[in-house]
A = this chain, B = another copy of it.
Protein backbone atom coordinates (compact mmCIF):
# COMPACT_ATOMS: atom_id res chain seq x y z
CA UNK A 1 0.00 0.00 0.00
CA UNK A 2 1.21 3.49 -0.79
CA UNK A 3 0.85 5.34 2.49
CA UNK A 4 2.09 8.59 1.04
CA UNK A 5 -0.53 9.21 -1.59
CA UNK A 6 -3.67 7.19 -1.05
CA UNK A 7 -6.73 6.86 1.12
CA UNK A 8 -4.74 5.10 3.82
CA UNK A 9 -5.72 5.95 7.40
CA UNK A 10 -3.65 5.44 10.52
CA UNK A 11 -5.48 5.28 13.85
CA UNK A 12 -3.88 6.21 17.16
CA UNK A 13 -5.47 5.25 20.48
CA UNK A 14 -4.62 8.03 22.91
CA UNK A 15 -4.03 11.71 22.29
CA UNK A 16 -1.36 12.57 24.86
CA UNK A 17 2.22 13.76 24.52
CA UNK A 18 3.47 10.55 22.91
CA UNK A 19 0.79 10.81 20.26
CA UNK A 20 1.60 14.49 19.82
CA UNK A 21 5.25 13.70 19.06
CA UNK A 22 4.22 10.84 16.77
CA UNK A 23 2.07 13.30 14.82
CA UNK A 24 5.18 15.33 13.95
CA UNK A 25 6.30 12.37 11.90
CA UNK A 26 2.93 11.49 10.39
CA UNK A 27 2.86 15.12 9.28
CA UNK A 28 6.39 14.85 7.88
CA UNK A 29 5.36 11.84 5.80
CA UNK A 30 1.87 13.23 5.14
CA UNK A 31 0.22 10.13 6.63
CA UNK A 32 -3.50 10.62 7.27
CA UNK A 33 -4.16 10.15 11.00
CA UNK A 34 -7.20 9.68 13.22
CA UNK A 35 -6.84 10.01 16.99
CA UNK A 36 -9.19 8.74 19.71
CA UNK A 37 -9.03 10.31 23.16
CA UNK A 38 -11.47 11.00 25.96
CA UNK A 39 -10.34 14.59 26.52
CA UNK A 40 -11.29 17.52 24.37
CA UNK A 41 -8.07 19.16 25.60
CA UNK A 42 -5.81 16.34 24.41
CA UNK A 43 -2.48 17.53 22.92
CA UNK A 44 -3.34 15.58 19.73
CA UNK A 45 -6.52 17.53 19.11
CA UNK A 46 -4.64 19.57 16.56
CA UNK A 47 -2.17 18.08 14.06
CA UNK A 48 -4.26 14.92 13.59
CA UNK A 49 -6.44 14.85 10.49
CA UNK A 50 -9.41 13.61 12.51
CA UNK A 51 -9.86 13.85 16.26
CA UNK A 52 -12.50 11.58 17.81
CA UNK A 53 -13.76 11.86 21.38
CA UNK A 54 -14.22 8.57 23.18
CA UNK A 55 -13.25 6.42 26.14
CA UNK A 56 -10.23 4.24 25.34
CA UNK A 57 -11.48 1.56 27.76
CA UNK A 58 -14.92 1.39 26.15
CA UNK A 59 -15.41 -1.52 23.73
CA UNK A 60 -17.73 0.29 21.33
CA UNK A 61 -15.69 3.49 21.25
CA UNK A 62 -12.49 1.63 20.36
CA UNK A 63 -14.18 -0.81 17.99
CA UNK A 64 -16.09 1.84 16.04
CA UNK A 65 -13.00 4.03 15.81
CA UNK A 66 -10.81 1.13 14.73
CA UNK A 67 -13.19 0.09 11.95
CA UNK A 68 -12.44 3.35 10.16
CA UNK A 69 -8.68 2.88 9.89
CA UNK A 70 -6.24 0.56 8.11
CA UNK A 71 -3.53 0.37 10.76
CA UNK A 72 -4.21 0.96 14.45
CA UNK A 73 -1.58 1.76 17.04
CA UNK A 74 -1.50 3.05 20.61
CA UNK A 75 0.29 5.69 22.61
CA UNK A 76 -0.98 4.33 25.95
CA UNK A 77 -1.48 0.72 27.03
CA UNK A 78 -4.75 1.16 28.87
CA UNK A 79 -7.15 0.55 26.02
CA UNK A 80 -9.96 -1.95 25.48
CA UNK A 81 -8.17 -5.09 24.35
CA UNK A 82 -11.34 -7.03 23.48
CA UNK A 83 -12.15 -4.40 20.86
CA UNK A 84 -8.62 -4.72 19.44
CA UNK A 85 -9.03 -8.48 19.21
CA UNK A 86 -12.32 -8.10 17.31
CA UNK A 87 -10.69 -5.59 14.95
CA UNK A 88 -7.77 -7.92 14.27
CA UNK A 89 -10.21 -10.67 13.29
CA UNK A 90 -11.83 -8.27 10.86
CA UNK A 91 -8.56 -7.44 9.14
CA UNK A 92 -7.44 -4.23 10.81
CA UNK A 93 -3.70 -4.29 11.42
CA UNK A 94 -3.30 -3.70 15.15
CA UNK A 95 0.22 -2.92 16.43
CA UNK A 96 0.95 -3.87 19.17
CA UNK A 97 -1.22 -7.01 18.91
CA UNK A 98 -4.12 -7.44 21.36
CA UNK A 99 -2.43 -10.55 22.73
CA UNK A 100 0.73 -8.61 23.58
CA UNK A 101 -1.24 -5.83 25.23
CA UNK A 102 -3.25 -8.35 27.27
CA UNK A 103 0.00 -9.86 28.54
CA UNK A 104 1.58 -6.50 29.32
CA UNK A 105 -1.47 -4.85 30.91
CA UNK A 106 -1.24 -7.27 33.82
CA UNK A 107 2.10 -7.19 35.62
CA UNK A 108 1.73 -10.74 36.91
CA UNK A 109 0.99 -12.08 33.43
CA UNK A 110 3.88 -10.01 32.08
CA UNK A 111 6.29 -11.51 34.63
CA UNK A 112 5.03 -15.03 33.87
CA UNK A 113 5.67 -14.35 30.19
CA UNK A 114 9.33 -13.65 30.94
CA UNK A 115 9.60 -16.84 32.95
CA UNK A 116 7.90 -18.90 30.21
CA UNK A 117 10.23 -17.43 27.58
CA UNK A 118 13.39 -17.86 29.59
CA UNK A 119 13.88 -14.12 29.87
CA UNK A 120 15.66 -12.93 33.03
CA UNK A 121 13.55 -11.06 35.56
CA UNK A 122 13.59 -10.64 39.35
CA UNK A 123 11.91 -13.48 41.33
CA UNK A 124 8.35 -12.74 42.37
CA UNK A 125 5.20 -14.10 43.95
CA UNK A 126 1.71 -13.50 42.67
CA UNK A 127 -1.22 -12.69 44.95
CA UNK A 128 -4.91 -12.48 44.14
CA UNK A 129 -5.26 -9.83 46.86
CA UNK A 130 -2.79 -7.64 48.74
CA UNK A 131 -4.30 -8.97 51.98
CA UNK A 132 -2.78 -12.39 51.24
CA UNK A 133 0.72 -10.94 51.53
CA UNK A 134 0.61 -10.69 55.33
CA UNK A 135 -0.15 -14.38 55.53
CA UNK A 136 2.72 -15.23 53.18
CA UNK A 137 5.09 -13.23 55.36
CA UNK A 138 3.78 -14.89 58.52
CA UNK A 139 4.30 -18.34 57.02
CA UNK A 140 7.82 -17.46 55.88
CA UNK A 141 6.94 -17.71 52.20
CA UNK A 142 7.93 -14.09 51.62
CA UNK A 143 10.58 -11.93 53.24
CA UNK A 144 10.89 -8.18 53.39
CA UNK A 145 12.05 -5.97 51.80
CA UNK A 146 10.20 -6.54 48.50
CA UNK A 147 8.52 -4.43 45.83
CA UNK A 148 4.75 -4.48 45.88
CA UNK A 149 3.24 -3.89 42.44
CA UNK A 150 -0.41 -3.63 41.57
CA UNK A 151 -0.97 -6.07 38.68
CA UNK A 152 -3.32 -3.87 36.71
CA UNK A 153 -2.78 -0.44 35.23
CA UNK A 154 0.45 0.54 36.94
CA UNK A 155 1.91 3.52 35.15
CA UNK A 156 4.91 5.70 35.93
CA UNK A 157 5.34 4.89 39.55
CA UNK A 158 1.73 4.73 40.65
CA UNK A 159 0.83 1.27 41.89
CA UNK A 160 4.40 0.50 43.00
CA UNK A 161 5.70 0.54 46.58
CA UNK A 162 8.81 -0.71 48.33
CA UNK A 163 7.74 -2.70 51.39
CA UNK A 164 10.35 -2.80 54.15
CA UNK A 165 8.09 -3.25 57.17
CA UNK A 166 4.55 -4.49 57.73
CA UNK A 167 3.45 -0.88 58.17
CA UNK A 168 4.33 -0.20 54.54
CA UNK A 169 1.54 -2.57 53.52
CA UNK A 170 -1.07 -0.46 55.28
CA UNK A 171 -3.25 1.59 53.01
CA UNK A 172 -2.35 -0.33 49.86
CA UNK A 173 -5.37 -1.23 47.72
CA UNK A 174 -6.54 -4.81 48.20
CA UNK A 175 -6.06 -5.89 44.59
CA UNK A 176 -4.28 -8.47 42.48
CA UNK A 177 -0.59 -7.81 42.91
CA UNK A 178 2.92 -9.18 42.87
CA UNK A 179 5.68 -9.08 45.45
CA UNK A 180 9.01 -8.85 43.67
CA UNK A 181 12.45 -9.41 45.19
CA UNK A 182 14.12 -6.04 45.74
CA UNK A 183 17.17 -6.19 43.49
CA UNK A 184 20.12 -4.05 44.54
CA UNK A 185 21.16 -2.62 41.21
CA UNK A 186 23.95 -0.46 39.82
CA UNK A 187 21.89 1.05 37.05
CA UNK A 188 18.50 1.14 35.48
CA UNK A 189 18.89 0.65 31.75
CA UNK A 190 16.51 0.63 28.80
CA UNK A 191 16.75 -0.53 25.23
CA UNK A 192 14.19 0.35 22.59
CA UNK A 193 13.76 -2.38 20.00
CA UNK A 194 11.98 -1.73 16.74
CA UNK A 195 10.63 -4.50 14.54
CA UNK A 196 8.65 -4.33 11.30
CA UNK A 197 5.88 -6.60 10.06
CA UNK A 198 8.47 -8.09 7.67
CA UNK A 199 10.70 -8.97 10.61
CA UNK A 200 13.40 -6.33 10.18
CA UNK A 201 14.72 -5.59 13.63
CA UNK A 202 16.98 -2.91 15.13
CA UNK A 203 17.83 -1.57 18.57
CA UNK A 204 18.58 1.93 19.75
CA UNK A 205 21.66 2.34 21.97
CA UNK A 206 21.29 1.30 25.61
CA UNK A 207 20.26 4.24 27.79
CA UNK A 208 20.92 4.80 31.45
CA UNK A 209 18.15 6.16 33.66
CA UNK A 210 18.27 8.10 36.87
CA UNK A 211 15.06 8.17 38.84
CA UNK A 212 13.72 10.83 41.18
CA UNK A 213 14.04 9.19 44.59
CA UNK A 214 10.54 10.14 45.76
CA UNK A 215 8.34 10.40 42.69
CA UNK A 216 9.72 7.21 41.10
CA UNK A 217 9.82 9.06 37.77
CA UNK A 218 12.80 9.25 35.43
CA UNK A 219 14.88 12.38 36.05
CA UNK A 220 17.68 11.91 33.50
CA UNK A 221 17.97 9.59 30.52
CA UNK A 222 21.55 9.34 29.26
CA UNK A 223 22.25 8.02 25.78
CA UNK A 224 24.41 6.08 25.27
CA UNK A 225 24.65 4.54 28.76
CA UNK A 226 28.08 4.86 30.37
CA UNK A 227 28.48 1.13 30.97
CA UNK A 228 30.97 -1.51 29.82
CA UNK A 229 30.53 -2.81 26.27
CA UNK A 230 29.77 -6.32 27.40
CA UNK A 231 26.96 -5.12 29.68
CA UNK A 232 25.47 -3.10 26.80
CA UNK A 233 25.73 -6.16 24.56
CA UNK A 234 23.95 -8.34 27.10
CA UNK A 235 21.15 -5.80 27.63
CA UNK A 236 20.70 -5.41 23.89
CA UNK A 237 20.51 -9.16 23.34
CA UNK A 238 17.89 -9.57 26.06
CA UNK A 239 15.83 -6.72 24.59
CA UNK A 240 16.00 -8.28 21.11
CA UNK A 241 14.96 -11.65 22.52
CA UNK A 242 12.02 -10.00 24.32
CA UNK A 243 10.75 -8.31 21.15
CA UNK A 244 10.97 -11.60 19.26
CA UNK A 245 9.25 -13.52 22.08
CA UNK A 246 6.28 -11.17 21.77
CA UNK A 247 6.51 -11.40 17.96
CA UNK A 248 6.20 -7.67 18.40
CA UNK A 249 5.65 -5.14 15.63
CA UNK A 250 6.55 -1.50 16.33
CA UNK A 251 8.57 -0.13 19.22
CA UNK A 252 9.16 -2.11 22.39
CA UNK A 253 10.91 -0.28 25.22
CA UNK A 254 12.55 -2.80 27.54
CA UNK A 255 13.42 -1.46 30.99
CA UNK A 256 16.09 -3.43 32.81
CA UNK A 257 18.16 -3.54 35.97
CA UNK A 258 21.93 -3.95 35.84
CA UNK A 259 22.65 -5.83 39.08
CA UNK A 260 25.74 -5.53 41.25
CA UNK A 261 27.07 -8.64 39.44
CA UNK A 262 26.35 -7.10 36.03
CA UNK A 263 23.44 -9.43 35.43
CA UNK A 264 20.54 -8.00 33.49
CA UNK A 265 16.97 -8.40 34.75
CA UNK A 266 13.93 -7.18 32.86
CA UNK A 267 11.84 -4.77 34.92
CA UNK A 268 8.99 -4.08 32.52
CA UNK A 269 8.25 -3.30 28.89
CA UNK A 270 6.22 -0.68 27.04
CA UNK A 271 5.00 -1.57 23.53
CA UNK A 272 5.10 2.00 22.17
CA UNK A 273 7.24 5.15 22.04
CA UNK A 274 8.65 5.63 25.49
CA UNK A 275 10.04 8.27 27.84
CA UNK A 276 13.45 6.58 27.64
CA UNK A 277 13.58 7.37 23.90
CA UNK A 278 12.69 11.06 23.77
CA UNK A 279 16.32 12.10 23.30
CA UNK A 280 16.28 10.23 19.96
CA UNK A 281 14.45 13.22 18.43
CA UNK A 282 17.59 15.33 18.65
CA UNK A 283 20.36 12.79 19.25
CA UNK A 284 19.61 9.89 16.92
CA UNK A 285 19.67 9.53 13.16
CA UNK A 286 16.02 8.46 13.40
CA UNK A 287 13.67 9.43 16.22
CA UNK A 288 11.79 6.70 18.06
CA UNK A 289 8.55 8.20 16.72
CA UNK A 290 9.60 8.05 13.08
CA UNK A 291 10.94 4.57 13.71
CA UNK A 292 7.62 3.38 15.21
CA UNK A 293 5.84 4.72 12.15
CA UNK A 294 8.29 3.02 9.78
CA UNK A 295 7.80 -0.25 11.65
CA UNK A 296 4.01 -0.34 11.76
CA UNK A 297 3.76 0.75 8.12
CA UNK A 298 6.33 -1.93 7.20
CA UNK A 299 8.70 0.62 5.71
CA UNK A 300 12.49 0.18 5.91
CA UNK A 301 13.87 1.07 9.35
CA UNK A 302 16.19 4.05 9.78
CA UNK A 303 19.58 4.22 11.46
CA UNK A 304 19.36 3.92 15.24
CA UNK A 305 22.79 5.22 16.23
CA UNK A 306 23.42 8.64 17.70
CA UNK A 307 24.58 11.70 15.79
CA UNK A 308 25.73 13.16 19.12
CA UNK A 309 25.38 12.39 22.81
CA UNK A 310 21.94 13.00 24.31
CA UNK A 311 20.54 13.56 27.78
CA UNK A 312 16.86 13.97 28.57
CA UNK A 313 15.36 15.70 31.57
CA UNK A 314 11.69 15.30 32.38
CA UNK A 315 9.77 18.47 33.17
CA UNK A 316 7.44 17.51 35.97
CA UNK A 317 5.23 19.74 38.05
CA UNK A 318 7.04 21.05 41.13
CA UNK A 319 5.76 20.05 44.55
CA UNK A 320 3.44 22.58 46.10
CA UNK A 321 2.08 23.96 42.84
CA UNK A 322 -1.29 23.16 41.30
CA UNK A 323 -3.02 25.28 38.66
CA UNK A 324 -2.27 27.14 35.44
CA UNK A 325 1.23 26.17 34.45
CA UNK A 326 4.22 28.52 34.20
CA UNK A 327 7.64 27.36 32.94
CA UNK A 328 9.89 29.45 35.14
CA UNK A 329 13.34 30.24 33.67
CA UNK A 330 12.66 28.59 30.32
CA UNK A 331 14.59 31.43 28.65
CA UNK A 332 17.56 30.67 30.92
CA UNK A 333 17.78 27.07 29.78
CA UNK A 334 17.30 28.03 26.13
CA UNK A 335 20.51 30.05 26.37
CA UNK A 336 22.45 26.90 27.18
CA UNK A 337 24.22 24.92 24.46
CA UNK A 338 22.18 22.30 22.64
CA UNK A 339 19.06 22.63 24.79
CA UNK A 340 15.60 21.99 23.34
CA UNK A 341 12.49 22.18 25.51
CA UNK A 342 9.43 20.17 24.53
CA UNK A 343 6.25 21.53 26.07
CA UNK A 344 3.37 19.04 25.97
CA UNK A 345 0.63 21.64 26.13
CA UNK A 346 -1.11 20.60 29.32
CA UNK A 347 -2.61 23.76 30.80
CA UNK A 348 -2.74 22.60 34.42
CA UNK A 349 0.23 21.53 36.50
CA UNK A 350 0.24 19.44 39.66
CA UNK A 351 3.08 17.85 41.66
CA UNK A 352 5.05 15.33 39.55
CA UNK A 353 2.75 15.64 36.51
CA UNK A 354 4.73 15.17 33.28
CA UNK A 355 4.45 18.55 31.59
CA UNK A 356 7.27 18.26 29.08
CA UNK A 357 10.88 17.28 28.67
CA UNK A 358 14.15 18.93 27.76
CA UNK A 359 16.76 17.37 25.51
CA UNK A 360 20.42 18.32 25.81
CA UNK A 361 22.70 17.22 22.97
CA UNK A 362 26.43 17.61 22.66
CA UNK A 363 29.30 15.95 20.82
CA UNK A 364 30.65 15.27 24.30
CA UNK A 365 28.21 13.25 26.41
CA UNK A 366 29.76 14.38 29.70
CA UNK A 367 29.25 17.99 28.68
CA UNK A 368 25.61 17.20 27.83
CA UNK A 369 25.23 15.64 31.28
CA UNK A 370 26.77 18.72 32.91
CA UNK A 371 24.39 21.06 31.05
CA UNK A 372 21.47 18.77 31.96
CA UNK A 373 22.20 19.40 35.62
CA UNK A 374 22.23 23.14 35.01
CA UNK A 375 18.89 22.78 33.21
CA UNK A 376 17.46 20.80 36.10
CA UNK A 377 18.61 23.42 38.58
CA UNK A 378 17.20 26.35 36.58
CA UNK A 379 13.81 25.41 35.24
CA UNK A 380 10.82 24.96 37.47
CA UNK A 381 7.31 23.98 36.49
CA UNK A 382 5.08 26.00 38.78
CA UNK A 383 1.65 27.60 38.70
CA UNK A 384 0.60 31.20 38.22
Contact = CB atoms under 8 A, between A and B. Distances in A.
Interface of A: 2, 4-5, 20, 23-24, 27-30, 46-49, 285-286, 290, 294, 299-300, 302-303, 307-308, 324-327, 330-331, 334-335, 337-345, 347, 361, 363, 384
| Residue among A23, A27, A341, A361 facing the most chain B CB atoms (10 A cut-off) | A27
Given A47-B46, A302-B340, A294 B28 contact: no
B303 A5 contact: no
A273 B154 CA distance: 44
A337 B302 CA distance: 7
Contact of A5 (B286, B300, B324): B324
Given A4-B343, A5-B324, A27-B24, A361 B307 contact: yes
A2 B326 contact: yes
5 contacts: A23-B47, A46-B47, A285-B338, A300-B331, A302-B339
A300 B334 contact: yes
A28 B285 contact: no
A360 to B, nearest CB: 11
Contacts of A337: 303
A345 B46 contact: no
A341 B335 CA distance: 30
Contacts of A47: 23, 27, 46-47
Given A46-B48, A337-B303, A30 B344 contact: yes
Copies of this chain, complex-wide, total 2
A334 B302 contact: yes
A30 B345 contact: yes
Given A30-B345, A302-B340, A4 B327 contact: yes
Nearest to A356: B30
A103 to B, nearest CB: 31
Contacts of A4: 326-327, 330, 343
A205 to B, nearest CB: 15
Nearest to A337: B303
A294 B334 contact: yes
A294 B331 CA distance: 10
Contacts of A308: 307
Nearest to A363: B307
A293 to B, nearest CB: 11
A327 B24 CA distance: 20
Given A23-B47, A27-B46, 7 more contacts: A2-B326, A27-B47, A46-B49, A47-B47, A286-B340, A300-B331, A302-B340
A6 to B, nearest CB: 9
B24 A326 contact: no
Nearest to A307: B307
A185 B27 CA distance: 38
A382 B342 CA distance: 37
A5 B285 contact: no
Contacts of A285: 338, 361
| Residue among A23, A46, A286, A337 facing the most chain B CB atoms (10 A cut-off) | A46
A361 to B, nearest CB: 7
Contacts of A20: 27
B299 A331 contact: yes
Given A300-B334, A330-B4, A343 B48 contact: no
